[in-house]
Chains A and B, each alone.
Chain A
Amino acid sequence: MRSSRIIYFIMFLAIGIPIIFKIGLPPARMPKAEKFFEIVNSIPSEKGVAFLAFDYGPGTNAENRPQSEVILEHLMRRRIPVVIFSLTPISEPFLQAVPEAIMKRLNDETGESWEYGKDVVNVGYRPGGGLFIQTLAKSDNIPEFLGKDVKGQILTSLPIMSRLKTIKDISFLGEFTGLVGAFQNYVQYFQSGGYVPIFGHGCTSITIPEAYIYLDSGQLQGLLEGLAGAAWYSELLRRNFTKRAADQALISNTALGLGQLTLLGLIAAGNILALLKRRRVA
């Protein structure tokens, strides 16, 4: 019982200190995030829209939210209009809060304006899972199929929708989740008539191994590996847009790194103590 408390306290210190004192060390270089950055950088901004699926809830918020923030920010900086939606009902708070936070940050930093309805639109939670994706991909009029946004505004009346008719107008699809099943819906069904948009995925650390098989097969073009991927992407944004301030991803990543090192230390300590015990018994 006592050793449990000591372990929990050590873990609390390892994770808590960087968060409380806002210590953000430079993140580790993540080659997959770098490739993702180049992909987003090469999406044509003159036509089409990007679709972002925030399929995460409070449980994986710590990893998926920084990922969705950096990708949305990059797309908005490039003036690529973004349609945000989710297949998960518990994502509702993030569907609203993330674009608001990014628009505010960009408006404050650049003095330019990013507007709801023109640069970004939130079409909210969509039930039906794979079936919804299938129907969306096959629709010959996506704004009409989606109907209204989360505020009840008719989508066809919003300026952003003038660039969207069918799946062929979706130049990029980004999906952020810790649920492998939700991710596979897009791999299987987000395509029509041989057209598949450029697909980028943000996964949690636990689901990285599964995501790699789709990256390897070419079904996935960009991958953000957990919080570490988001932190490196954030660093790339900072290097490309020099006025950009450091964000929470770097601090959280520092806490995660310390937490992981502590875990390694605990494994080593556990093994050494077990070895000593075995020798004593022998």
Chain B
Amino acid sequence: MKELLIKFSTFLAGLYFVFEFLIPGTWSEAWGIDKLNEPISNGFVAIGSMAFGLGIINLVRIHGKTILFRSNKWFYSLALLLGLFGMIVFASLDWIENLTITKTSDRILLLKSFSEKIITDYDNKTPNVLDPKSRTDFLIKAWNQEKNSFSPELMDTFKSNLSFQKVEELIQTLSRLDSYSPETLRELAPNFAEVSTFYRSASSASYENSMTKFAYKLLNNGIFVPLGAAMFSLLGFYIAGAAYRAFHVRSLEAFLMMAAAVLVICGQTTFTLGIYSGFSEIRAWLLQVPNSAAFRAITIGAGVAGLVLAFRMWFSVESGVFGRKK
């Protein structure tokens, strides 16, 4: 029963993509199939995210066991898990910090919209809203709450900002007034937007110098990127060794291959083009004519094979559910 259910679900999932891709756009629109694309896409992303979780659990189980039992080369497993969790912790901290800055900045920007809304609601006599003076008091309260959450260092930076000074001045004016003042609110609104932008750039600049950012950059730009690049760069040296030892012309095919490789290299290197500029045209012909023909044949062949494989998977004949049948 379970097997049948899984086969049926696989078939249904495949059916959607066949319909979605093959039927005309107007039909897809009329039947509402195009509307399903976004939720299905999100579903696949969610399933993909689960794979990340499974991967982490698997790594922890395998390498955790190696470390606990001090198995052979356990320190490599320790380095792997330290790297994994170090990166997760600092990437999460970085994400949280950026999110906090964005949310505070958005809240300040919201005060601009609120100031404008008080004025428009009053002008349009919008029903069922509080009187403008009470709403202005809420605006003042919200601004003071935001301001009190700023760190002392940030407050020092803000003191030199003209828009911040203007906001403070206008808020104090509004606090002193006993009645609603649309002119002051109108003047206040654009300054909130300026303060929001300034807050974002000042906080981001201050965060750039923090320990969290330093650790994140060290792990990412200082270790991950150079190590990844170094791994790939080693290939250059191995290829050089292999070229010297193994690339010997022993047959006509080997000669043709080497001649093509030499001509392509000569066609894109300054030094050889200085000797004979015609290498460029020879290179272009080699890539455009024989290469394209051969690659197109390979690609079409691979495409047909992929289609056959897709059909086998769609009809659940490729392998048994959860792997090969016993």
**Which residues on A are within 8 Å of B, measured CB to CB?**
3-4, 7-8, 10-12, 15, 25-31, 57-62, 90, 92-93, 97, 127-128, 131-132, 134-135, 138-139, 145, 150-154, 157, 193, 208-210, 212-213, 216, 225-226, 228, 253-254, 257-264, 266-267, 269-271, 274
B23 CB, min distance to chain A CBs, angstroms: 14
- Chain B residues with CB under 8 Å of A226's CB are 268
Please determine whether A7 and B102 come into contact, CB atoms closer than 8 angstroms. Answer: no
How far apart sit A28 and B44, CA to CA, in the bound complex (Å)? 45
Q: With contacts A145-B38, A210-B299, A267-B258 known, is A59 near B102, CB below 8 A?
A: no
How far apart sit A257 and B271, CA to CA, in the bound complex (Å)? 8
Choose among B37, B103, B244, B247 the residue that contacts A152 (Cβ–Cβ < 8 A): B103
| Smallest CB gap from A4: residue in B | B241
Q: With contacts A26-B270, A208-B287, A257-B270 known, is A270 near B37, CB below 8 A?
A: no
Q: Is the CB of B269 closer than 8 A to any CB of chain A?
A: yes
Q: Which of B130-138, B167-175, B226-234 is the contact stretch?
A: B226-234
| Smallest CB gap from A256: residue in B | B269
Please determine whether A269 and B244 come into contact, CB atoms closer than 8 angstroms. Answer: yes
The 9 A-B residue pairs whose C-beta atoms are closest, nearest first, are A58-B228, A152-B102, A59-B232, A135-B41, A270-B244, A257-B269, A266-B244, A228-B268, A11-B240
Please determine whether A274 and B271 come into contact, CB atoms closer than 8 angstroms. Answer: no
- Chain A residues with CB under 8 Å of B232's CB are 58-60, 62
Please determine whether A153 and B102 come into contact, CB atoms closer than 8 angstroms. Answer: yes
How far apart sit A117 and B168, CA to CA, in the bound complex (Å)? 27
Please determine whether A263 and B273 come into contact, CB atoms closer than 8 angstroms. Answer: no
| Smallest CB gap from A60: residue in B | B232
How far apart sit A15 and B234, CA to CA, in the bound complex (Å)? 12
Q: Which of A28, A30, A154, A266 has the most CB of B within 10 A?
A: A28
- Chain B residues with CB under 8 Å of A10's CB are 240
Please determine whether A138 and B241 come into contact, CB atoms closer than 8 angstroms. Answer: no
Q: Is the CB of B65 closer than 8 A to any CB of chain A?
A: no
- Docked complex: B190-236 residues within 8 A CB-CB of A: 220-221, 224-229, 231-233, 236
Please determine whether A58 and B229 come into contact, CB atoms closer than 8 angstroms. Answer: yes
By secondary structure, the B interface counts as helix
- Docked complex: B236-284 residues within 8 A CB-CB of A: 236-237, 239-241, 243-249, 258, 262, 265, 267-273, 280, 284
Choose among B38, B221, B269 the residue that contacts A260 (Cβ–Cβ < 8 A): B269
Q: Is the CB of B148 closer than 8 A to any CB of chain A?
A: no
| Smallest CB gap from B225: residue in A | A58
Please determine whether A11 and B236 come into contact, CB atoms closer than 8 angstroms. Answer: yes
Q: Which of B40, B99, B228, B236 has the most CB of A within 10 A?
A: B236
- Chain B residues with CB under 8 Å of A216's CB are 288, 292
Q: Which of B37, B225, B246 has the most CB of A within 10 A?
A: B225
Choose among B102, B236, B245 the residue that contacts A270 (Cβ–Cβ < 8 A): B245
- Chain B residues with CB under 8 Å of A262's CB are 240
Choose among A27, A212, A270 the residue that contacts B243 (Cβ–Cβ < 8 A): A270
How far apart sit A30 and B273, CA to CA, in the bound complex (Å)? 11
- Chain A residues with CB under 8 Å of B225's CB are 58, 61, 93
